[in-house]
Amino acid sequence: MKVDNSVNSDLPPLSGDFTFSGGIYRDVYLVVSDQLHFDLLDYASSGVYLETPEINAENARVKIRESILNEHSRRRDFDVVSLIKDASGNVVGKGFSSMVLGPQEQTSFEQLSPRISQPKLWSPENPYLYSVSTQIIDKESRKIIDEVVNPLGFRWFSFDSEEGFSLNGKAYKLIGSLRSPGADCLGGDPYC
């Protein structure tokens, strides 16, 4: 692949009142996948979403939502395995689904992990992260066809008029900044 920044009179803009230069200014990735894969066009995501419907100091559960696309011209039989791993790589929870997708079909579904007992909670003092590895595995060859790995921190928060902000049941003082009176104020702005 090659990028060419030559002047081309067919490609606007041709001039302007600012610095004109070209090129690639952000990271560029080439994604190569099997024709059976997590749907990368699902709102520009990886096709895998994590939710934590239950978290407390004793137990946690993970809901894994997947969107998978079969761009083959034939039916595909496969398994979807989601492994929840602690920071040391030990599996602490697992989701499993057996699937069949016809040619050019897309499906979305959910897996709910078993309860994970005594989860290590994420906090500013201890930013502990788990990972969730979600794999599409071909039923015939048992090979991993596609895999998405997401970080996961177990935590919950609340706001209370008496206690303020709490993370994992512990109160934290949030400190923000206020504008100085008269600084960058627009006429009629009540917060200036």
**93-127 pLDDT, tens digit each:** 999 999 999 999 999 999 999 999 999 999 999 99
Other CB atoms within a 10 A radius of the CB of residue 170 amount to 11
Tell me the pLDDT of the chain averaged across its residues: 88
Taking every pair of Cα atoms in the chain, the longest distance, rounded to a whole number of angstroms, is 70
Q: What is the pTM of this model?
A: 0.77
Residue 167: is its pLDDT beyond 80?
yes
Nearest to 131 by CA among 147, 108, 107: 147
Q: Where are the domains of the chain?
A: 36-155
Q: What is the DSSP code (8-state) at residue 78? A: E
The pLDDT value recorded for residue 7 is 72
The residue with tokens 């407390």 is: 56
**45-99 pLDDT, tens digit each:** 899 999 999 999 999 999 999 999 999 999 999 999 999 999 999 999 999 999 9
Give one DSSP letter per residue of 80-141, joined into a string.
EEEEEE-TTS-EEEEEEEEEEE-TTEEEEEEEEPPPEESPPBP-SS----EEEEEEEEETTT
Q: What is the CATH superfamily name and number for domain 36-155? A: Immunoglobulins (2.60.40.10)
Residue 109 and residue 97 in contact, taking contact as beta carbons nearer than 8 Å: yes
